[in-house]
């Protein structure tokens, strides 16, 4: 296992360079407080549109944890879940649920009530991050840049007439714009609209996923994802992943290898890399997130970093961005996940373990 | 051969390949601009292994500028690349084609061409008559493309000590497509991709969801315990054979019994030697296509047609022409017209693929009169018929019509299956073929699977010998009829704005949605409402069908079917309101190649 020397010169936030930032000096590497010997229950599946992605994430994380010697079980979110958890009595629960139920905080509320420690952000903060317009308002309040946006519920179109509203959007916003559901991930229901006559179709595709649309100004630039691991020393960014895609970074591009070329670390200057790391950490803090998050952003040619959204349950599949960043940083996935699990265990409980 | 002194500058070479340069031109570029000596073979190998770019030999760059990374996703650059690919006769994706159309129209209407400058990006400038004849501003004659500055994508990165530039091939600049073999796939594999639609089906097996999407038969109706005892005896007494390799053509005892099954549909002129047992009739379809279809050959199929067949045809690079059908099945006049059109266009039609009974997905049956017409037309044009008949014995109201194979043993390949009348888990189907075709099918099957499963075949023979299989089929017919009635009744009650046919057998109802609704676009809403269906586009080779959906009634109970249709009605009503609001209509599926159907084990 590669052990990274703690950097002596830099203080948090750390720069995302080729070596692993963050967890290296978080804690010693052995012992039960590091996850080995803990019982972990992974939650994956659910009934959201992203069930398939969640199942893949769950299997990948379970496999990595098992490889590191952790006792892992995987559970779907269904009527058997509470009974299964009760029977298994996990030390830590790791919700790897994407979409409604998983990221909106509701399930985390239940975990809190049941008193299970879990990996990731708490219910209240999850709920804020999950709602893209609310999160964007937070970014602005924190002095971060996010593309201009409008939030348009379907009723508004009904009340004011679709044609009129779409004309205003096209004029006020100038195309291209990105139309997306205010909630949900994996680019589902997302369209980049370059022509006024394509707006109506984009709205229909978006409203099939939810009743409110976010219309965001499209920003040209380098597409980046910066994952944040929030260890004992506070949040640290993993190296940025640059997404170079032919066409749109849509569902197909995300989960079928081929059209996307990923560069990890991203092809950035040192100061750019520092800047995007700072933005990701600032966003993580602005939304009061915990343990793990991933910020999606665009680095415009003028050097501005436009923050698109922050995910409280980043994808962990074969083609997902956080695992790529972790590997590039020199982490071994099993031990990284193991340490994330350990972070969730309350101090007292881990100390009390034999 | 020049010594390969340095690792290939991967991003640069990829870009040059994408921009249409051949290996020797790239070698020249690397030598003059980068001072790197490599062999053309190294470039070719790199292309095959690491890119999806087809081989080419141009000495001229399609995009004659060194485009900075932040400008590479520009629609103009994509249009130039698409323009080039189209000129080479390659197929564009729907999105590429639309982008290119749009750009070309703009250029034509404004008399402009595309140009590029690293500081300002892509832009349009007036075309110079006689010089800019394509879609780009041609570089000055005699000048090499400028600037050479920023040829490496991370040129603007600070040269940190020991920094790995893309040129050095270090971890700093090397991109990954997460699939080291991405550049190696055959052309026919490029459409084999999961889709947003397919991912949505993932919820269909959850009990909360009423799935009207799958095609799983209702196996719970079988006498499983008694059959289990028979299987126990089979393995105990004949295990040494059952668990051994079998013959490529299939077990003769089963082939004899298969003829008993076929006799129920009027096929009395076949011999056990004419039968080739396959791993489901899906494999028969694969073998038939393999031995008949060269890339570019035409296969005729009904509109709509079975999604699994379209997938096979696509994987052998066939072109599928759809032939319309109506309430009486395939329209003979339309078939003749399609054959004449293909002949006029100089295309080779290899066979007609047809599902004459209780069509999947359309639910209709080809009338007896039309069976004779279709046979006559195909005989006249010298075109083979592939008759796919998994549902023929599952009619609700009458005895089966004679198979087309019953009238013509030379011109028809007949595909049968135990999957719907007994159990799909054994994966046993068959094809009845004239002797010369059969010889090839056997060899093709051996090269693909050596032999069909002996254990499965002997289990089915046991079932046919020891159980009242005809009685079982009769009880299936009653079960499915009840479910069909539940679905049709619920549709009439809850979805009066849609229209559908009333199938008199099989598993499926083909629903035409109210004007404007796009079944693909509506699917996420259905998933939210806990009901699933298959959008009509899955059953078309050409992206049509979005105004339809296929509902199956084979697996859920009547009560669940009614609940599913009730949920579907709220989905359709909400979507109807939405499309009315925005005035959109059902559109073409932009990429009909990707997988937009549930996997076979989804309810």
Cβ–Cβ contact B171 with A under 8 A: yes
Long-range contacts of B446-452 (CB under 8 A, 24+ apart): B446/B248, B448/B283, B448/B286, B448/B287, B448/B290, B449/B279, B449/B283, B450/B245, B450/B248, B451/B245, B451/B246, B451/B247, B451/B248, B451/B250, B452/B246, B452/B250, B452/B277, B452/B278, B452/B279, B452/B428
Residues A231, A348, single domain; the answer is yes
Residues B244, B278, single domain; the answer is yes
Mean pLDDT taken over chain A: 87
Give the least confident one: A1-10, A240-249, B12-21, B517-526: A1-10
The pLDDT of residue B161 is above 60 = no
Of A55, A267, A324, the CB nearest to B154: A267
- B residues 500..519 contacting A (CB < 8 A): 518
Q: What average pLDDT score do residues B336-341 get?
A: 97
What percentage of chain B has pLDDT greater than the value 90?
62
Residues B479, B552, single domain; the answer is yes
Residues A53, A197, single domain; the answer is no
On chain B, the residues whose CB falls within 8 A of the CB of A207 are 578
Domain count across chain A: 2
Residues A322, A264, single domain; the answer is yes
Q: Is B20 left (phi over 0), alpha (psi -120 to 50) or beta?
A: left
Sign of CA dihedral B200, A249, A272, B152: positive
Give the pLDDT confidence score for residue A9 in this predicted structure. 37
Residue range(s) defining the domain that contains residue A173: 148-217
Of B329 and B105, which is predicted with more confidence?
B329
Q: Provide the token pair at B581.
A: 């609001």
B448: domain CATH number is 3.40.640.10
Q: Do A318 and B528 touch (CB under 8 A)?
A: no
Does residue B249 lie in a domain region? Answer: yes
Q: Are B9 and B167 in contact (CB under 8 A)?
A: yes
Residues A290, A326, single domain; the answer is yes
Q: What average pLDDT score do residues B368-385 get?
A: 98
Does residue A64 lie in a domain region? Answer: yes
Residue at a domain's end among A217, A242, A271:
A217
Axis crossing angle, helix B368-381 with helix B332-344, rounded to the nearest 10: 20
Does residue B592 lie in a domain region? Answer: no
Min Cα distance B10 → chain A (Å) is 12
Q: What average pLDDT score do residues A314-322 get?
A: 93
Cβ–Cβ contact A197 with B under 8 A: no
Residue at a domain's end among A176, A191, A217:
A217
The pLDDT of residue B421 is above 90 = yes
Task: Give the DSSP per-residue string, A32-45.
Answer: GGGTTT-EEEEE--
Q: Do A51 and B202 touch (CB under 8 A)?
A: yes
Of B52, B583, B591, the CB nearest to A258: B52
Give the pLDDT confidence score for residue B140 in this predicted structure. 60
Of B95, B179, B198, the CB nearest to A258: B179
Give the pLDDT confidence score for residue B57 in this predicted structure. 58
Residues B451, B510, single domain; the answer is no
Please state the three-class secondary structure of A114-175 as a single string.
Answer: HCCCECCCCHHHHHHHHCHHHHHHHHHHCCCCCCCEEEEEHHHHHHHCHHHHHHHHHHHHCC
Residues A39, A103, single domain; the answer is yes
Residue at a domain's end among B169, B189, B209:
B189
Sorting pLDDT into bands at 50, 70 and 90, what band is A173? confident
The pLDDT of residue B367 is above 60 = yes
Does residue B587 lie in a domain region? Answer: no
Residues A107, A202, single domain; the answer is no
Q: Do B176 and A207 touch (CB under 8 A)?
A: no
Does residue A103 lie in a domain region? Answer: yes
Residues A128, A238, single domain; the answer is yes
Q: Are B548 and B601 in contact (CB under 8 A)?
A: no
The structure tokens 């053309």 sit at B40
Residues A262, A338, single domain; the answer is yes
Enumerate residues 6+ apart whose C-beta is below 8 A from A309.
Answer: A129, A132, A135, A136, A295, A296
Query: Can you tell me whether residue B424 is helix, strand or coil?
Result: helix
Nearest C-alpha in A relative to B74: A220
Cβ–Cβ contact A333 with B under 8 A: no
Domain count across chain B: 3
Of A121 and B591, which is predicted with more confidence?
A121
Q: Provide the number of CB pairs (under 8 Å) joining chain A to chain B.
A: 149
Residue B320, number of CB atoms within 10 A of its CB: 19
The pLDDT of residue B162 is above 90 = no
Residues B497, B578, single domain; the answer is yes
Sorting pLDDT into bands at 50, 70 and 90, what band is B120? confident
Q: What average pLDDT score do residues B88-112 get?
A: 80
Does residue B353 lie in a domain region? Answer: yes
Q: What average pLDDT score do residues A140-161 get?
A: 95
Residues A257, A122, single domain; the answer is yes
Does residue A29 lie in a domain region? Answer: yes
Report the length, in residues, of chain B: 603
Half-sphere exposure of A257 (CA within 13 A, CB side): 19
Residues B256, B384, single domain; the answer is yes
- Report DSSP state, residue B419: T
Residue range(s) defining the domain that contains residue B105: 10-189
Q: Provide the token pair at B26.
A: 């790239």
Q: Are A300 and A306 in contact (CB under 8 A)?
A: yes
Q: Are B31 and B3 in contact (CB under 8 A)?
A: no
Q: Across the beta sheet with B499-500, what order do the strands follow?
A: B499-500, B508-512, B548-552, B534-535
A336: domain CATH number is 3.30.470.20
Residues A70, A83, single domain; the answer is yes
Does residue B293 lie in a domain region? Answer: yes
Residues A253, A208, single domain; the answer is no
Catalytic residues of A, by residue number, are: 50, 186, 255, 294, 296, 309, 311, 315
Q: Do A222 and B70 touch (CB under 8 A)?
A: yes
Sorting pLDDT into bands at 50, 70 and 90, what band is B173? low
A184: domain CATH number is 3.30.1490.20
On chain A, the residues whose CB falls within 8 A of the CB of B518 are 204
pLDDT in tens, B211-269: 999 889 998 889 999 999 999 999 999 999 999 999 999 999 999 999 999 999 999 99
Residues B394, B485, single domain; the answer is no
Residues B111, B255, single domain; the answer is no
Sorting pLDDT into bands at 50, 70 and 90, what band is B460? very high
- Report DSSP state, residue B356: -
pLDDT in tens, A48-89: 999 999 999 999 999 999 999 999 999 999 999 999 999 999
Nearest C-alpha in B relative to A251: B196
ipTM: 0.86
Q: What average pLDDT score do residues B562-578 get?
A: 97
Cβ–Cβ contact B102 with A under 8 A: yes
Nearest one of B374, B365, B305 to B501, comparing CA atoms: B365
Of B69, B521, B523, the CB nearest to A204: B521
Hey, of B18, B106, B578, which one would you mutate to test binding to chain A, going by the most A CBs within 10 A of its CB? B578
């Amino acid at each position: 296992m590669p052990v990274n020397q703690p950097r002596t010169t830099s203080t948090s936030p750390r720069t995302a360079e080729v070596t692993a930032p963050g967890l290296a000096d978080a804690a010693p590497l052995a012992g039960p407080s590091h996850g080995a010997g803990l019982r972990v229950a992974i939650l994956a599946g659910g009934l959201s549109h992203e069930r398939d992605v969640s199942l893949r994430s769950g299997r990948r994380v379970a496999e990595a944890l098992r490889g590191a010697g952790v006792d892992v079980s995987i559970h779907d979110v269904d009527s058997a879940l509470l009974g299964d958890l009760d029977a298994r009595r996990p030390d830590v629960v790791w919700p790897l649920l994407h979409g409604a139920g998983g990221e909106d905080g509701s399930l985390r509320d239940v975990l809190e009530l049941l008193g299970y420690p879990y990996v990731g952000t708490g219910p209240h903060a999850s709920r804020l991050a999950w709602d893209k317009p609310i999160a964007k308002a937070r970014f602005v309040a924190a002095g971060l840049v996010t593309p201009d946006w409008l939030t348009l519920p379907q009723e508004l179109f009904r009340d004011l007439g679709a044609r009129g509203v779409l004309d205003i959007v096209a004029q006020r916003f100038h195309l291209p714009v990105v139309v997306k559901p205010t909630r949900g991930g994996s680019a589902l229901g997302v369209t980049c609209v370059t022509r006024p006559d394509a707006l109506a179709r984009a709205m229909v595709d978006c409203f099939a996923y939810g009743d409110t649309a976010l219309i965001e100004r499209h920003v040209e630039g380098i597409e980046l994802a910066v994952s944040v691991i929030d260890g004992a020393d506070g949040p640290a960014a993993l190296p940025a992943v640059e997404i170079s895609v032919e066409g749109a970074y849509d569902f197909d591009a995300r989960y079928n290898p081929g059209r996307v070329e990923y560069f990890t670390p991203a092809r950035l200057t040192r100061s750019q890399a520092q800047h995007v790391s700072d933005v990701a950490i600032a966003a993580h803090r602005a939304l009061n997130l915990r343990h793990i998050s991933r910020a999606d952003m665009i680095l415009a040619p003028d050097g501005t970093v436009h923050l698109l959204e922050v995910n409280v349950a980043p994808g962990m599949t074969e083609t997902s961005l956080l695992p790529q960043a972790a590997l590039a940083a020199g982490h071994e996935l099993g031990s990284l996940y193991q340490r994330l699990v350990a972070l969730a265990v309350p101090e007292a409980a881990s100390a009390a373990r034999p | 051969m020049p010594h390969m002194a340095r690792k290939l500058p991967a991003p640069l070479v990829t870009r040059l390949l994408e921009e249409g340069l051949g290996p020797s031109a790239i070698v020249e570029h690397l030598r003059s601009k980068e001072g790197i000596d490599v062999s053309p073979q190294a470039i070719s190998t790199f292309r095959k292994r690491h890119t999806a770019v087809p081989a080419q030999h141009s000495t001229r760059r399609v995009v004659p500028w060194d485009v900075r990374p932040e400008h590479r996703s520009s629609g103009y650059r994509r249009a130039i690349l698409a323009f080039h690919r189209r000129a080479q006769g390659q197929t564009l994706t729907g999105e590429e084609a639309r982008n290119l159309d749009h750009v070309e129209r703009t250029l034509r209407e404004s008399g402009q061409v595309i140009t590029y400058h690293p500081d300002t990006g892509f832009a349009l400038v007036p075309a110079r008559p006689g010089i800019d004849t394509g879609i780009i501003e041609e570089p000055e004659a005699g000048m090499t493309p400028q600037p050479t500055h920023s040829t490496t994508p991370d040129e603007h990165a600070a040269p940190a000590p020991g920094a790995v530039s893309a040129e050095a091939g270090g971890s700093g600049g090397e991109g990954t497509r997460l699939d080291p073999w991405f550049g190696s796939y055959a052309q026919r594999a490029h459409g084999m991709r999961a889709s947003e639609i397919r991912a949505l089906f993932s919820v269909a097996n959850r009990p909360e969801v009423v799935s009207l999407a799958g095609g799983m038969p209702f196996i719970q109706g079988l006498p499983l315990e008694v059959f289990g005892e028979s299987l126990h005896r089979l393995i105990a007494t004949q295990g040494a054979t059952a668990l051994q390799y079998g013959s490529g053509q299939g077990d003769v005892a089963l082939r004899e019994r298969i003829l008993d099954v076929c006799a129920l549909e009027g096929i009395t002129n076949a011999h056990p030697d004419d039968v080739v047992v396959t791993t489901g009739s899906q494999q028969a379809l694969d073998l038939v296509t393999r031995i008949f279809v060269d890339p570019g050959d035409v296969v005729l199929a009904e509109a709509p047609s079975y999604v699994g067949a379209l997938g096979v045809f696509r994987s052998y690079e066939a072109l599928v022409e759809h032939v319309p059908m109506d309430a009486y099945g395939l329209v003979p006049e339309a078939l003749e017209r399609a054959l004449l059109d293909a002949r006029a266009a100089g295309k080779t039609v290899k066979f007609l693929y047809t599902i004459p009974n209780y069509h999947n997905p359309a639910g209709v049956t080809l009338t007896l009169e039309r069976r004779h017409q279709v046979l006559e037309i195909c005989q006249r044009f010298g075109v083979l018929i592939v008759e796919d008949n998994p549902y023929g014995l599952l009619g609700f109201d009458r005895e089966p019509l004679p198979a087309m194979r019953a009238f013509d043993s030379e011109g028809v390949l007949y595909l049968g299956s135990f999957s719907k009348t007994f159990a799909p888990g054994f994966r046993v189907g068959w094809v009845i073929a004239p002797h010369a075709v059969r010889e090839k099918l056997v060899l093709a099957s051996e090269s693909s699977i050596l032999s069909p499963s002996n254990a499965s075949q002997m289990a089915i023979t046991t079932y046919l010998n020891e159980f009242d299989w005809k009685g079982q089929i009769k009880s299936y017919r009653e079960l499915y009829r009840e479910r069909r009635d539940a679905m049709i009744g619920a549709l009439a009650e809850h979805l009066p704005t849609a229209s559908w046919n009333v199938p008199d057998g099989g598993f499926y109802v083909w629903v035409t949605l109210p004007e404007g609704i796009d079944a693909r676009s509506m699917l996420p809403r259905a998933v939210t409402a806990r009901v699933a269906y298959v959008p009509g586009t899955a059953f078309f080779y050409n992206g049509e069908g979005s105004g339809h959906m296929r509902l199956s009634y084979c697996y859920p109970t009547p009560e669940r079917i009614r609940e599913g249709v009730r949920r579907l009605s709220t989905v359709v009503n909400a979507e109807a309101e939405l499309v009315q609001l925005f005035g959109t209509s059902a559109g073409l599926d932009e990429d009909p190649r990707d997988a937009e159907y549930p996997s076979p084990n989804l309810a």
